[in-house]
Structures are given as structure tokens and as C-alpha cells.
Chain A
Amino acid sequence: MSVLQRDPQDMLRVLEEDGTPVGEVPDLSDDELVTMYREMYLARHFDTRAVSLQRQGRMGTYPPLSGQEGAQIGSAFALDEEDWLFPSYREHGAALHRGLPLKRTLLYWMGHEKGNRIPEDVNMFPVAVPIATQVLHATGAAWAKKLQDEDAAVMCCFGDGATSEGDFHEGLNFAGVFDTPNVFFCNNNQWAISVPRERQTASATIAQKATAYGFEGVQVDGMDPLAVYAATRAAVEKAKNPDEGERRPTLIEAVQYRFGAHTTADDPTVYRDTDEVEEWKKKDPIPRLEAFLRETGRLDDEKVEAIETSVKDEVAEAIEAAESEPRPEPSEMFSNVFAEQTPEIRAQAEAFAEMYERHGDEGFLRE
């Protein structure tokens, strides 16, 4: 029986908090499991460095992901190459698994348009900063794949807060009606900035909302990367090859916690207790997977150390590369608005260029 065929209130789990298996371990090779660990570790380290860059004034506002690596890497791992990811603004971990260079992620949060340019070979949309708007795009993209007879699933990531927006309802409703190959992946990290999950919905779970749209909803331990992988993999397979009478879309609610602030502009100590944070830290997905991999002989001190060293080098190189990137040419503001520049935009660009010629940066840059 598929792991998706369960009561939406019955949370799927593969690993205990101490890494002991309590469910069926997904069929992944040793290398894949170690890679999963490495990417989670990388996402955490990247996150720590990014927050510190912001604190040092080397980057703008940044939304941290610590605590959510298991959900992000576990779900992205379940996608096939032809599948698509439609992220929110916090999916730096899922994005790195999809192949988005870390440098791009850094550039985006450093205010460079180039950071929003997804490489041609990466099946991923730019981040969505408004809440839940990407849900409809993901439904439409999956619908297109179906109408074009292409065998690809589209995964959309969003938070618990997003489930309150009208776009969430509309996106899932269309998906149900048109039976689109979607995986709706809700990173329920308990807090929409300062507003707790209980204030978003009176439903016992978010997963159960799927029932009303006519497809399966499953709640998974979002800090258990193997459970996340198992559920997402089953959902991806069903999206592309449903059984007779089965609907393609799935809603996955990955129950997790953001250890840090909503963004670097936020102070979570104002609205939540440190005790709560400490409780959730016991479920940390990284030591959890590490314990399992050590226990089963897939990791040892030497391998962990090698991973740590290579990850630190990789992140340091990405930061150096991003910081060496020259500031974009001011004239780039006027490009890519339309396929062809309109006469008015051309005139404004020319007027700007003349003024820039006369004044240089001094005429524009503030302290």
C-alpha cells in the first residue's frame, strides 16, 4: 500500500529522533544517502554563513532555513531530473539540490538581478516573495505538462501561513479538478513570522485539507529526511503514473520548525519561548540522519570530517565569487522589461545615461 494512503492525521516517520528506524527505509543507495546528508549539512552551513554576512552588512535581509534541511533536501531528492520546483523564498536547500549555484542564491539576497536568473538546465522557477502566489503557477505548469503529454511532475513549496491565502485554495482546487501532476509541499514550520500555526487554520492538520479537493493529503515528520523522501517520492510517482482511478495531485504537510528568525529583520524572542525552540532542536534532522548513517556503517568520523571540510570550502568559494561580482550596470534597470524596449523606456534609459555621464555615482548613491 502506498505511504500516501493513510489518515492525514497519522504522521509518517521513518527515523526516530535518535536515528533509529521505525519505518521502512527508502530504497536509496549508500552514496545517495551520504549525499543527502552532505547537502543537508551544506544547507545548514550556508545558512549560518549567510546570516553572518547579513549581520556584517555584506548582504541584505535574508530568510534563514535552519531546522528545515530535512524537508528541503528530502523532498528535492525525490524529484526526477525532468520534474520542476516552484519555491517560496526560503528554499535555498532544495534549490541547491536542484543545481542552482550557491553564488546565485547569494547574489539574489545581495540585491543583484542576476541572482534571479535560473540556469537553463535547472528546472526551477525564481523564488516567490509574495505568499502562496506560486501555488497557482505550479498548478498551471503541471497542467501544461499534462496537456503537452510530457512526463513531468511539478512540486510547489510554501509555508503554513500560505495555506490561509486564497491562492492556495484556488491552486489546489484547480489541481483537483484538472487532475494535474502536482506535489504541493507545505513546509509547516509552525510560525508565519509571529503568528502560530493554530491561528492560520482551525483544521487539526493541514494535510487533511486535501480531502476537500478530492486528492490525497499526508502528514510527514518534516525533520525526518527519509520520511519526507518516501512521501514525496510516492507523490511524484503517482503524479506521473497514477493507478486506475487515482488522482495525480498530493498535498504533503511536512511538520517541522524554523530554528531561527523569519528573516534577519525579525526577532523571534518577542513572540515565542526559547523552551519551545530547544524542544524542537531535539528533532534536528542533521544529527538524526547522521546517527542513522553511522549506525548502519555508511558514515564514520573520517567521512564526516571530509564532508565538513569540503562543505566549508564550497561555501567560502561561493561567497568569494558572489562578493567579487561587480555591481550591476545601472543601465540594466531598463533591460528585460519587454522583449523589445518601448520608445518611452528607451527615452528614459537615454535620459538616465546622460545624467549618469554628468554626475557619475555621486549623483545617485546615498550613504
Chain B
Amino acid sequence: MSQSQQTQNLTLVQAVRDGLHTEMTNDDRVVVMGEDVGKNGGVFRATEGLWDEFGDDRVIDTPLAESGIAGTAIGMATMGMRPVAEMQFSGFMYPAFDQIVSHAARLRTRSRGRFTCPLVVRAPYGGGIRAPEHHSESKEAFYAHEAGLKVVIPSTPYDTKGLLISAIRDPDPVIFLEPKLIYRAFRGDVPEGDYEVPIGEAAVRREGTDVSVYTYGAMTRPTMEAAENLEEDGVSVEVVDLRTVSPMDKETIVESFEKTGRAAVVHEAPKTGGLGAEITATLQEKALLHQEAPVERIAGYDVPYPLYALEDYYLPSVARVEEGIRNAVEF
């Protein structure tokens, strides 16, 4: 990033829009497609104004068909375009699942590199906004489990723009999950113009010496708050924001653990088969001799995401995160 760049103070969803705008300006192969992304500017305003500026051929309102969106985007990507497909909510992404896992993820492998799929599938995801049924789930593990897909989950406006630009430039398919709870929860400095935040690199949000806490997306905020509360009690917490959940930055994960020897993972996705399990296994494999306590998993429960009258009890709260970290420290 050059010194001369100006910064703007944007929300996370405005950073999405800014990232799209930047790459659409840079590269005319980039098209945005999905439901209500055109004249309406997206149901969360993530594509606001893009249709007016770039027109109907580059900001495309599609028929209401997620499999259709993902599948045709794959076809476009193979022919040299750079589609950014929006799924209106990650809960409505399942009709596209077959296209994403059976084709986008495998095209390079099965054609032995003859065809590739430089595709980004964006979707608002996660809970906490009192939304109706099927609007709040966190199913990043589905995609992280699939070889051939990269899965990105930003937690700040700066990272959102930089990671989205990297995702669009990436030669392979990227699932870009946007934590909608923090779409407008705060603002952050975002440079004008283009810059990349590399895919596959975690960020240490807070340094500490007693325990490492791994998290990402909307859970970064309650985790940071819990860490500050614990600091008052003399517990020094290191917080690692994964930013990319696949491929995972195992080097940073292990490095932090070698320092602290204790760990907790925080995610709102259900506990069983969640990424917390992957992180825990990584620590076992690579840093067993540093381990001083069981790894705490603070996660959503293994139940369907409840309707919103109960969602606060489902999502990891500051108190719950704090207690989990304390368990790891006091073991």
C-alpha cells in the first residue's frame, strides 16, 4: 500500500461494496451476479450503486435460482471471466451446493489443470440479527471440508476489502462468508484504491502469554471483550483471528500455542465437526509437548439454530467465552 493512499471510515458491508467496486474498475472481466444485486443494490446494500455505474451486463439480477447462479458462474469463470456470485443468505446456498462442491471445487483437479474456476461465492452468514428461520446458520465447516475450496471469513472492514480483492484475483474458487452481525456494528479505516490481504494468513489481534484463543468472524468481538475482562484479573490472553478458515494458517496457530501452552477456540457454528476440532487436532499433531491443558471449545450447540427468541442463548456470549478461557487457564 502506498503512503499516498487516502483512507475512508467504512462499515464491513461498505468495505464489501468498496472491494467489489475497486475490482470491477480494475478488471472488466469481473461481473457481480445474484438475486437483487442490481437495481435494489442487494438486500444488505452490499452492491449499492454498482448497477448504476457498471450496467446490466456487469451487475446482473438473475432469476431466483441459487444452483443456476453458481452453475452459470462456473461456466463464465471457465471462459475467462471473473464472476462474483452472491448468495442472498448462506442458509439459501444449499441448492448451489452440488455445483460448488461437485464442480467448482474439482474442475482444476479433474481436468488436470485444463479448466480452472476463478470464482468467488459471497454470502452473508451467521446469527445474531433476529432474522427469520434459515437466516442465521454458520456452516463454514461444510465448505472447509471440501478440498479445492478456499474459505474466507473477515472480521474487520480493512480485511474485508483486502481479502475480497485477493479472492477475486485468486485463480481458484473462494467461498467468502460475511458475518452479517457485524455488517454495520462498527467502522474501520479502509484505504481507497486497491490492496490485498493475503488469503491463508491469520492475524494476532491481541498478544498474550497465558492462553491462545482462536476465533474468526463475528465471534472476534466477544472474544476480545472477554480477553480484556480477563486481563483485569491478571490473565494474559492472546487472540488469533484466523481470517481464512481454509487453508488454515497453522504456522501462526502453532506459534502462539508454543508460547502459551493453553488454548480455547470460539466459533458460533455447532461444536461437533466444527473448525474447533480441526484446530485442536492441529495442536495435538504439531505442539503436543507444549500442551498444559485440554483445548476448550466454545461453540454453538449441536441443535438446529433456534428462532430468534432464543438465539442469544445459542451464540457464545462474552460470559461464556470468558468462562471457557478461564477453564483452559485454570486447569
Contact = CB atoms under 8 A, between A and B. Distances in A.
Given A129-B133, A270-B40, A327 B309 contact: yes
B132 A129 contact: yes
Given A164-B65, A330-B313, A364-B319, A130 B132 contact: no
Contacts of A110: 309
B1 interface: no
B203 to A, nearest CB: 25
B39 to A, nearest CB: 5
Contact of B302 (A165, A192, A344, A363): A344
A129 B134 contact: yes
A131 B309 contact: no
Interface in B91-114: 91-92, 94-95
Contacts of B91: 130
A165 B304 CA distance: 24
Contacts of B319: 355, 359, 362-364
Contacts of A359: 319
B191 to A, nearest CB: 29
Contacts of B128: 366
Contact of B64 (A192, A330, A362): A192
Q: What bracket does the count of chain B residues touching chain A fall in?
A: 35 or more
A166 B67 contact: yes
A193 B35 CA distance: 9
A345 B301 contact: yes
Size category of the binding interface on chain A = 35 or more
A112 B309 contact: yes
A193 B310 contact: no
Contacts of B271: 348
Interface string B123-142: 00000101111110000000
Nearest to B317: A364
Interface stretch (A5-13, A194-202, A222-230, A311-319): A194-202
A243 B251 CA distance: 72
B68 A164 contact: yes
B48 to A, nearest CB: 10
A165 B41 CA distance: 22
Interface stretch (A64-72, A296-304, A332-340): A332-340
A126 B5 CA distance: 53
B312 A365 contact: yes
A60 B130 contact: yes
Interface in A280-320: none
Contact of A201 (B40, B63, B133): B63
B317 A164 contact: no
Given A333-B306, A363-B317, A131 B64 contact: yes
B310 A328 contact: yes
A113 B40 contact: no
Given A60-B131, A327-B309, A195 B301 contact: no
Contacts of B61: 194-195, 199
A109 interface: yes
B39 A164 contact: no
Interface string B41-79: 101000000000000000001111111100000000000
A30 interface: no
Interface string B282-305: 000000000000000000011110
B310 A348 contact: no
A28 interface: no
A165 B64 contact: yes
B301 A352 contact: yes
A334 B271 CA distance: 14
Contacts of A177: none
B302 A194 contact: no
Contacts of B311: 111
Contact of B95 (A89, A113, A167): A167
B92 A60 contact: no
Given A270-B40, A333-B314, A109 B301 contact: no
B43 A265 contact: yes
Interface string B307-330: 111111110010110010000000
B310 A161 contact: no
A312 B232 CA distance: 56
A330 B323 contact: no
A166 B70 CA distance: 13
A200 B63 contact: yes
A95 to B, nearest CB: 15
B241 interface: no
A352 B130 contact: no
A266 interface: yes
B63 A164 contact: yes
A167 to B, nearest CB: 7
A131 B92 contact: yes
Nearest to A110: B309
Contacts of A167: 95
Contacts of B94: 130
Contacts of B312: 364-366
Contacts of B39: 194, 270-271
Contacts of A109: 132
B46 to A, nearest CB: 14
B38 interface: yes
A108 interface: yes
A334 B303 contact: yes
A334 B39 CA distance: 42
18 contacts: A60-B131, A61-B132, A89-B132, A111-B307, A111-B310, A112-B307, A130-B91, A164-B68, A192-B35, A194-B39, A195-B36, A195-B38, A328-B310, A333-B301, A333-B314, A334-B301, A345-B302, A356-B313
Q: Which 10 A-B pairs have the closest CB atoms?
A: A194-B40, A111-B308, A363-B319, A161-B64, A164-B63, A111-B309, A330-B313, A111-B307, A164-B65, A164-B64
Interface of B: 35-36, 38-41, 43, 61-68, 91-92, 94-95, 128, 130-135, 271-272, 301-304, 306-314, 317, 319-320, 323
Given A165-B95, A194-B36, A366-B128, 16 more contacts: A111-B310, A111-B311, A127-B133, A130-B91, A131-B64, A164-B64, A166-B68, A193-B35, A194-B38, A330-B313, A333-B306, A345-B301, A349-B301, A356-B313, A364-B313, A366-B312
